[in-house]
Structures are given as C-alpha cells and as structure tokens.
Amino acid sequence: MNAKWGIQQRLVRAFLLQALLISITAVIGVYAAGTMIREVLVTRALQEEANYFWDQRVRNPAFTLPHTLNLTGYLDSGDSRPPQHLASFGPGYHDLPSEADFSTLYVTEQNGEKLYLLFDGEQVGRLALYFGLLPLMLVLVALYLAAWMSWRLAGRAISPLIWLAHEVDRFDPDPKANNLVNVDEIPSGVDREVLALATALNNLNLRITDFVEREHQFTRDASHELRSPLTVIKIAADMLLSEQELSQQARNSVVRIRRNAGDMEELMEALLLLARESDLGLSIDEVCVNDVLDEEVERTRQVIGDKPVIFELEHDCRLYVQASAKALAMLLGNLLRNAANYTDQGTIKVTLSQQGVSIEDTGVGMTEEQLGKAFTPYYRAPGASRAGHGVGLSIVKRLSDRFSWPLQMNSEPGEGTRVRVFFPGGKCSEGEAA
C-alpha cells in the first residue's frame, strides 16, 4: 500500500482547513450581524418611534417630529407635506436607494395623517465598522497567528519523526552499508517516545545485520560442507556400480543410493538458493529456455528409467529470457520430475512458445482440494510412483514468486495435470525454431 500524504502534508492541510473554516465563519457572522441590524433592530426601532410619536401626538398636537442624525420624520397633514420623492409611498417598510449602506422608510397612517420616518444607515454602518468589523478583523488576525504558531510548533514536534522515517527509508541490512540509526543525530527537542522508537529501531537494525551475516556464513559453509560428502557418496556409488561381481540386489540398492544422493544435491542447491537474502550471488544472463528444457527433459528420462512414459517436445521458437540459468533449471526440472512421478504410463507433452512453457501429463491428476494444496511445503498428493520429499512444487512456487514467473496449474482426476510457466519480457526467435 502506497501512502499518498505524509505527516507534514497532513498538518498543512489541517491548518489550511482550519483557516478556511475560520474565514467562512467570520463572513457568515458579519452577514448575519448586518442582517440582524437591518431587519430586526432598525425596523423595530422605527416601529417603536412611530408608536411613541402617535401617542404624544394625541396628547400634544404640536409635538415635534423626530429629527436626529440618523432619523428624520415628515408628516402629511393639512398644514405640512413630505418631500416629493417620499409622498408616493404607502404604509409599511420601504428600502430606498442611497449612497450609504442602506436607507429605510417607514410609513404609518392614523386619523387621516401619515407619518414618514426615514432612517439613514450610513452612521450605523460606520459604527458597525468601528465596533464590529475592526474587532473581528483583529480577532481573525489573532486566530491566524495562533494557527501559524501551532503549525510551527507541530512541525518542530514531528521533525524528529520525519527524520526517523527518512532514516528507516534508506535502511539496508547489508553489513557493508553500515547505516545504523545514529541516535545522536536526532534533532533537538525530541520526545521520549521518538527516542525510544529510534533506540528500538537501532537495536533491531543490529539484530538484522547480525542475522544477515549469519545467513551469509551459513549458506557459504553449508554449500561447501554438504556438497563434499554428497560428491563422495556419488563417486563411491559409481565405483560400486563398476564392479562386475556385484549382485543385482546390491546393484539396485547402489542405484537407489546414487539417485537419492543426486536428489539430495539438487534439493540442497534449491534450498540454499532460496535461503539467500538477495540475488547478488546469482548470475543473471540471457538464457535460452530451449537448451535448459532439453537438458532437464533428458535428466528426467534418466531418472524414470524404463517407466513407459513418452516425452513429446514442441518448440515454436527459441525463447530467450534474462534469468539465472540455475534457477530456471530448478524450476523446470522440478515440474518435469513432478509430472513423471505422477504418470505411471502415458505421455508428458512439453510445449514452448513465446509466452512460456507448458507441461501437460496424462497421469493420475488431482482433485480441486488437492490442487489447492499442491504448492504447500511437504504436501504429497496420493498416486506418486516415486516417493518424494513434498517440497518440489513448493520450491517451484517460491522461484516463481521470486523471479516474477507467473504459474498456472489445471488438473482433473484421472486425466492429468497441466502446468504453464509464463516468462514476461521473453524474446522469441522464430527463425531458430527447433
């Protein structure tokens, strides 16, 4: 799984989102405050002013009209008239065009007289600016400054973790790399948890380095120490087989010893190959799959002896792949020997094409349950004519995964098994077909 965002990027996104939400909230608040001033406070003030005027007018017909900085009153009666541009408005609230923030006209009628109250919102807008918007801007600046300082502090807090992630990213267990996590290089102000994590990774790195070194020593020593006695066994078996006085029963036993010694040598080579941590010890060259396949088919013929099994080879072309010849021989050899072990008589058809190699036998086949366990280590399906160790197909699967050679297996009980190995990137030369 690939991570799209790092911790630092997530912090930046979080603080930007916080700033955006603060800005949106401020805009909504200013709009709501303006609406409340206009729709609630002003209209209610005009209504109360009109009621007060009419009450006083009843008591004192000479009561003066309101005339303040923001409010101007006009009366339409027998001896007075409102301005011409206001006379056409009827009772109720009216918004008037104005160069100021807003102007509201409130018209009421009582006892045949009309009262016009004109509210000028310019002064209210200035008060809202001085006592509302400017303090809000100062609050926003303080919030943005606090968010920026929090981001800086958070960045400093996670910097040791980011540094540690970079150290782990370049981690290499190769003993020659010598890139252990140096706790002394951790940025200052590190938390206890980060220091504990760095120390734990440092100890883990040391253990992995020791393990890799022991693995290298084991594969090197095992390859030498195990190969020597197996070679001696094979030579001794060959010498015994050359004796003319050897009885047939003894000769059969020596043949079995010789054959099992060869199997053990191949198994040891395969296990040591798969035990290596890297492919640095393998020779990767352009290998002709046809040549490797021909050699492995011939070796399998020798292994099965006089069993009535016929090998049919079909080469559409000469296929070349970038691979380890030893690994390729192990994979194809194990597949061929597995097909021979489960075919008492019949045909093993080997087809090589541009896509890869197909090995199809007419043996006992496998059920769906057996097919699902075929690549399990030490699993041996019933019906084999020659007992094996149960690791052949397991080795094939591990080689397939390691070198990216996809496998496909199909089988039917009583009809046989078909295994296909694909070699992506292989080059086929049709002019050199066998």
Region of poorest pLDDT, from 104-108, 167-171, 334-338: 167-171
294 plus 415 within the same structural domain? yes
Query: What is the pLDDT, as a whole number, of residue 108?
Result: 92
Provide the pLDDT confidence category of residue 290 given band limits of 50, 70 and 90.
very high
323-334 per-position pLDDT tens digit: 888 888 888 988
Q: Which of 281, 297, 312 is the last residue of a domain?
A: 281
Q: Domain containing 362: what range?
A: 283-432
State the average pLDDT over residues 378-403.
73
Residues 6+ apart with CB under 8 A from 260: none
- Evaluate whether residue 105 is within a structural domain: yes
260 plus 335 within the same structural domain? no
Provide the pLDDT confidence category of residue 38 given band limits of 50, 70 and 90.
low
Query: What is the pLDDT, as a whole number, of residue 433?
Result: 44
- Evaluate whether residue 152 is within a structural domain: no
Query: What is the pLDDT, as a whole number, of residue 283?
Result: 65
Top pLDDT among 387 and 118 is at 118
275 plus 294 within the same structural domain? no
Top pLDDT among 42 and 292 is at 292
To the nearest 10°, report the CA torsion of 328, 332, 335, 337.
Answer: -120
294 plus 380 within the same structural domain? yes
Flag whether pLDDT at 381 surpasses 90.
Answer: no
- Evaluate whether residue 156 is within a structural domain: no
290 plus 423 within the same structural domain? yes
303 plus 274 within the same structural domain? no
Q: What is the CATH number of the domain that holds 394?
A: 3.30.565.10
229-252 per-position pLDDT tens digit: 888 888 888 888 888 777 888 888
Extract the tokens encoding 342. 């489960």
Tell me, what amino acid is at 316? Answer: D
Q: Which of 86, 121, 139 is the last residue of a domain?
A: 139
Q: What is the mean pLDDT of the chain?
A: 78
Query: What is the pLDDT, as a whole number, of residue 374?
Result: 83
307 plus 425 within the same structural domain? yes
Query: What is the pLDDT, as a whole number, of residue 321?
Result: 92
Extract the tokens encoding 79. 């001896």
3-state secondary structure the chain: CCCCCCHHHHHHHHHHHHHHHHHHHHHHHHHHHHHHHHHHHHHHHHHHHHHHHHHHHHHCCCCCCCECCCEEEEEEECCECCCCCCCCCCCEEEEECCCCCCEEEEEEEECCEEEEEEEECHHHHHHHHHHHHHHHHHHHHHHHHHHHHHHHHHHHHHHHHHHHHHHHHCCCCCCCCCCCCCHHHCCCCCCHHHHHHHHHHHHHHHHHHHHHHHHHHHHHHHHHHHHHHHHHHHHHHHHHHCCCCCCHHHHHHHHHHHHHHHHHHHHHHHHHHHHCCCCCCCCEEEEEHHHHHHHHHHHHHHHHCCCCEEEEEEECCEEEEEEEHHHHHHHHHHHHHHHHHCCCCEEEEEEECCCEEEEEECCCCCCHHHHHCCCCCCCCCCCCCCCCCCCHHHHHHHHHHHHCCCEEEEEECCCEEEEEEECCCCEEEHHHCC
Starting at the edge strand that comes first in sequence, how are the strands of the sheet with 284-288 ordered?
284-288, 318-324, 427-429
Query: What is the pLDDT, as a whole number, of residue 434?
Result: 40
Extract the tokens encoding 90. 């009827």
Flag whether pLDDT at 364 surpasses 50.
Answer: yes
Measure the CA–CA gap between 372 and 393, rounded to whole angstroms: 12
42 plus 119 within the same structural domain? yes
259 plus 297 within the same structural domain? no
State the average pLDDT over residues 147-157.
75
Q: What angle do CA 339, 304, 408 make, to 5 degrees?
A: 10
Nearest to 290 by CA among 263, 266, 325, 262: 325
318 plus 206 within the same structural domain? no
290 plus 416 within the same structural domain? yes
Flag whether pLDDT at 360 surpasses 90.
Answer: yes
Per the structure, the count of domains in the chain is 3
251 plus 350 within the same structural domain? no
